[in-house]
C-alpha cells in the first residue's frame, strides 16, 4: 500500500478539509515546528465545535493545547466561501496575501 507523504502539504490538505466539512474556519498561521526547530508558516482548520484539525498529522486537537504547545500565531482566518474565492483568485491553496480579509 502506497502512503503519500503529508509533509509540506498543509495548505492543500487544510483547504480540502474545510471544503469537505462545508464549515469551520481555515486558519493561516505561524507555528513552532519541533521537527524543524523553528517557526514556520502553516495552515489549520478550526471546527465549529472549537477543535483544531492539524492536516499534516491528520488529527484533531483541543485548541488551547495546540495553540500553547506549538506557539500558534494566527495570520488570517477564512470562511469556506472566502477560502474558495482566494483559491480561485490566486490559483493556489495558500498562503494568500489577502488585504481584504474581513477578520484582520
Residues 30-51: tens digit of each pLDDT:
999 988 899 999 999 999 898 9
- Considering the entire predicted model, what is its pTM? 0.86
- Confirm whether 80 is domain-assigned: yes
In total, how many domains does the chain have? 1
Q: Residue 2 above 50 pLDDT? A: no
Beta bridge partners of 78: 26
Domain assignment present for residue 100? The answer is no
Average pLDDT over every residue of 8-25: 92
pLDDT tens digits, 83-102? 999 999 999 999 997 544 44
Let me know if residue 61 belongs to a domain: yes
Q: Which residues of 35-68 are buried (b: 16+ CB within 10 A; e: fewer)?
A: eeeeeeebbbbbbeeebbbbbbeeeebebeebbe
pLDDT band, residue 3 (cuts 50/70/90): low
Q: Which residues span the domain enclosing 50? A: 10-90
Amino acid at each position: 500500500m502506497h502512503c503519500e507523504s503529508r509533509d509540506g502539504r498543509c495548505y492543500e490538505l487544510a483547504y480540502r478539509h474545510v471544503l469537505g466539512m462545508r464549515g469551520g474556519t481555515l486558519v493561516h498561521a505561524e507555528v513552532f515546528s519541533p521537527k524543524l526547530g523553528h517557526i514556520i508558516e502553516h495552515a489549520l482548520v478550526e471546527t465549529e465545535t472549537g477543535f483544531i484539525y492539524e492536516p499534516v498529522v491528520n488529527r484533531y486537537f483541543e485548541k488551547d493545547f495546540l495553540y500553547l504547545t506549538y506557539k500558534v500565531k494566527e495570520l488570517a482566518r477564512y470562511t469556506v466561501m472566502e477560502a474558495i474565492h482566494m483559491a480561485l483568485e490566486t490559483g493556489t491553496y495558500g498562503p494568500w496575501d489577502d488585504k481584504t480579509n474581513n477578520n484582520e
